[in-house]
Amino acid sequence: MSTKTYFRCGKLFDGESETILSDQTIVVENGKITQVAASSELPAADDITEADFGTNFVMPGLIDVHTHLAYGNAKTEEDIDLYSSLEFRALRGVFFARQVLASGFTTIVAPGDSGMVSRAVRDAIDAGLFEGPSVTAAGPYITSRQGLTDWYPTWIGVPTTSIGVLVTSRDEQIEQVRKQVKEGVDAVKIAMDGILRRPNGELVAAFTMDETKAMVDEVHRLGKIAITHARGREATLYAAKSGVDLIFHASEIDDEGLDAVLANNCAICPTLTLLRNTLDFVEPEDPAFREGRANAWRREFDAAVENLQKVRKAGVPMPIGTDSGFAVTPFGEWHAREIEIFVKDLGFSPIQALKAATSVSARVVRPKDKVGRIAPGYRADLVALNSDPTKNISVLLERDKFAAVVRGGRFVSTEKTLYDPKRVSDFAMTISSDLYTRERVAELMMQRASHEQGSRLN
């Protein structure tokens, strides 16, 4: 019995060319694309299955290179690191990976998670035990004393269930790279900065230039993808000079850093969705807005947009990534918002943003996956839309605009699965959200009375 399927397309974006083709047919056999040709050249046949997308816009499955499967849509760092077992996180990660796939993202990079959670999810999906996107998996971030993930007091240290692992010497840095590679990661992530700033406000790099280069060289020597978290100028510069494959954020990149990025052919993933969602969605009483933090988020977003427009104009590859896994960036909800931000804030045309979300993002996933393009030899990951995203990029955020999602030649459901977040992610033992002094209670009572009076008048 033939396994050949014709996918008839009204409009076709192949992920690479910026020309949209009409009336094309994609030929798929055993989950792979074998031919793309004008529909008139491929007549119907009794032994060939046909999928009719003749009125749809068809493109490759989308890719998000910044999705943390172990985070669980957490509201606190403690929820991410402490309050659930690694086994539960892996099972939960499978569930959330399915939510990502339903949103049209058929491939993700999971760049830094607790233990080997992402590797376990990757292997379960690869084995066909569960339906989900392809996963390029990393282990815990490699961090230093002033680096990201070293959140807790020194008398507690970095818990073994944390998303980071603390290294305190050159030997430990190299050993951690080798350990993660032995345990089966596809990529190694280095936390190149964290929260420590100099008096002038500049973020301090978590590792020296020599330390960074040694780790990146070892990652590459062992045949893996080198990824860094780097918001600050110094961290971005060191990462770029070390020849890292992918830099997350680069919010404070300067001209020297940009030159190094270009010289070493690095990719930069802006990950502006996390910043944008925080500015747009978080409530004034939330900790993210306290003590002037909202202004800090705003300053970083504005600075990042200005700097990353220069990055785009310089021709740096810029994959799509969202930092999904936090409560403000829940799985399956906002992945396409980064594509929208590329158009609205960074100056990409819609077709350039679609290319960023497909073939450009594919450069930092497992090479064996062969994704991001509609071409012979590539996996048959497809998205069919009822609307043209080159006319309105925001349709990618609307589930009712998806006619179909196809992974490896097979149709997958685009339905979201409901769940109770209080049984899945919200485990932190927070008792109160405020300090209830007599003055604060009086203020709250006045606000309540004013609100009730206003309600009666309305």
Residues 319, 268 share a domain = yes
Which is it for strands 246-249 and 267-269: parallel, antiparallel or unpaired?
Answer: parallel
Residues 146, 16 share a domain = no
The DSSP result for 99-133, as a single string, is HHHHTTEEEEEE-S-STTHHHHHHHHHHTTSS---
Residue 425 above 80 pLDDT? yes
Distance of CA 260 to CAs 111, 180, 216, Å? 23, 27, 15
Number of domains in the chain: 2
Contact 193, 143 (CB under 8 A): no
Residue 142 above 90 pLDDT? yes
Instruction: Kindly state whether residue 175 falls inside one of the protein's structural domains.
Output: yes
Over residues 278-292, the pLDDT tens digits come to 999 887 777 777 767
Which is it for strands 164-166 and 134-137: parallel, antiparallel or unpaired?
Answer: unpaired
Instruction: Kindly state whether residue 421 falls inside one of the protein's structural domains.
Output: no
For residues 122-150, average pLDDT: 95
What pLDDT, on the 0 to 100 scale, is given for residue 408?
A: 97
What pLDDT, on the 0 to 100 scale, is given for residue 291?
A: 63
Residue 157 above 90 pLDDT? no
Report the alpha-carbon distance of residue 345 to residue 342 in Å, rounded. 6
What pLDDT, on the 0 to 100 scale, is given for residue 458?
A: 62
Over residues 24-70, the pLDDT tens digits come to 999 999 999 999 999 999 998 888 999 999 999 999 999 999 999 99
Which of these ranges, 9-23, 40-54, 416-430, has the smallest mean pLDDT? Answer: 416-430
Full strand arrangement of the beta sheet holding 4-12: 32-38, 21-29, 4-12, 49-60, 382-385, 402-407, 410-412
Residue 452 above 80 pLDDT? no
Residues 78, 19 share a domain = no
Residues 221, 108 share a domain = yes
Residues 20, 142 share a domain = no
Instruction: Kindly state whether residue 375 falls inside one of the protein's structural domains.
Output: yes
Instruction: Kindly state whether residue 265 falls inside one of the protein's structural domains.
Output: yes
Question: Who's near 182: CB < 8 A, 6+ residues apart?
Answer: none
Residues 98, 27 share a domain = no
Which of these ranges, 173-187, 335-349, 436-450, has the smallest mean pLDDT? Answer: 436-450
Is the pTM higher than 0.75? The answer reads yes
Residue 326 above 60 pLDDT? yes
Residues 177, 134 share a domain = yes
Residue 36's CATH number? 2.30.40.10
The residue from 371, 395, 412 where one domain ends is 412
Residues 219, 193 share a domain = yes
Over residues 237-246, the pLDDT tens digits come to 999 999 999 9
Residues 46, 70 share a domain = no
Residues 20, 147 share a domain = no
Percent of residues, the chain, with pLDDT higher than 70: 98
Instruction: Kindly state whether residue 76 falls inside one of the protein's structural domains.
Output: yes
Residues 38, 152 share a domain = no
Residue 1 above 70 pLDDT? no
Question: In the chain, what is the greatest distance between 2 CA atoms, to the nearest angstrom?
Answer: 80
Instruction: Kindly state whether residue 430 falls inside one of the protein's structural domains.
Output: no
Name the band, by pLDDT with cuts 50, 70 and 90, for residue 302.
Answer: very high
Task: Give residue 40's domain range.
Answer: 4-56
Question: Who's near 179: CB < 8 A, 6+ residues apart?
Answer: none
Residue 259 vs residue 158, higher pLDDT: 259
In one-letter notation, the amino acid at residue 450 is S
Instruction: Kindly state whether residue 449 falls inside one of the protein's structural domains.
Output: no
Residues 52, 68 share a domain = no
Instruction: Kindly state whether residue 448 falls inside one of the protein's structural domains.
Output: no
Residue 374's CATH number? 3.20.20.140
Name the band, by pLDDT with cuts 50, 70 and 90, for residue 440.
Answer: confident
Report the alpha-carbon distance of residue 392 to residue 405 in Å, rounded. 19
